[in-house]
Amino acid sequence: MHPVPRALAAIVASAAAGLGYATLEAQAFTLRRFTLPVLPAGTPSLRVLHVSDLHLVPRQRRKAAWLRGLARLEPDLVVSTGDNLAATDAVPAVLEAYGDLLRRPGVFVLGSNDYWGPRPKNPARYLLPQGGGGPIVGVRLPTQELVAGFREAGWRDLTNRRDMLDVAGVRLAFVGVDDPHMGWDHHPAQGDPAADVPADVTIGVTHAPYRRVLDAMTSEGVGLLLAGHTHGGQLCLPGAGALVTNCDLPRRQARGVSVWRTGAGPDVDGPGFPRSAVLHVSAGLGTSPYTPVRFACRPEASLLTLTAP
pLDDT of 272 > 80? The answer is no
Residue 47, domain CATH: 3.60.21
The pLDDT of residue 13 is 42
Q: How many domains does the chain have?
A: 1
Alpha-carbon distance of 5 to 9, in angstroms, equals 6
Q: Which of 107, 218, 219 is nearest to 164 (CA)?
A: 107
Q: What are phi and psi of 8, to 5 degrees?
A: -65, -40
Question: Which of 49, 30, 57, 21 is closest to 287 using CA atoms?
Answer: 57
Q: Which of the pair, 145 or 133, is modelled with greater confidence?
A: 145
Q: Cα(13)–Cα(18) distance, rounded to whole angstroms? A: 9
Pairing mode of beta strands 106-108, 156-157: parallel
Which of 241, 246, 180 has the alpha carbon at shortest distance from 214?
A: 180
Q: In what order do the strands lie in the sheet with 300-307?
A: 30-37, 300-307, 46-51, 77-80, 106-108, 156-157
* Per-residue confidence (pLDDT) for residue 133, from 0 to 100: 55
pLDDT > 80? residue 205: yes
Residue 228: which domain range?
Answer: 3-307
Instruction: Report the distance separating Cα 292 and Cα 231, nearest Å.
Output: 12
At 190 the pLDDT is 84
Q: Lowest-confidence range among 62-71, 247-256, 272-281?
A: 272-281
Hey, what amino acid is at 252? R
pLDDT score at 8: 36
What letter does residue 78 receive in the DSSP assignment? Answer: E
As a whole number, the mean pLDDT across the chain is 88
Q: Give the DSSP H or E segment for 80.
A: strand 77-80
Q: Report pLDDT digits (tens) over 279-299.
A: 999 999 999 998 899 999 999
* pLDDT value, residue 11: 38
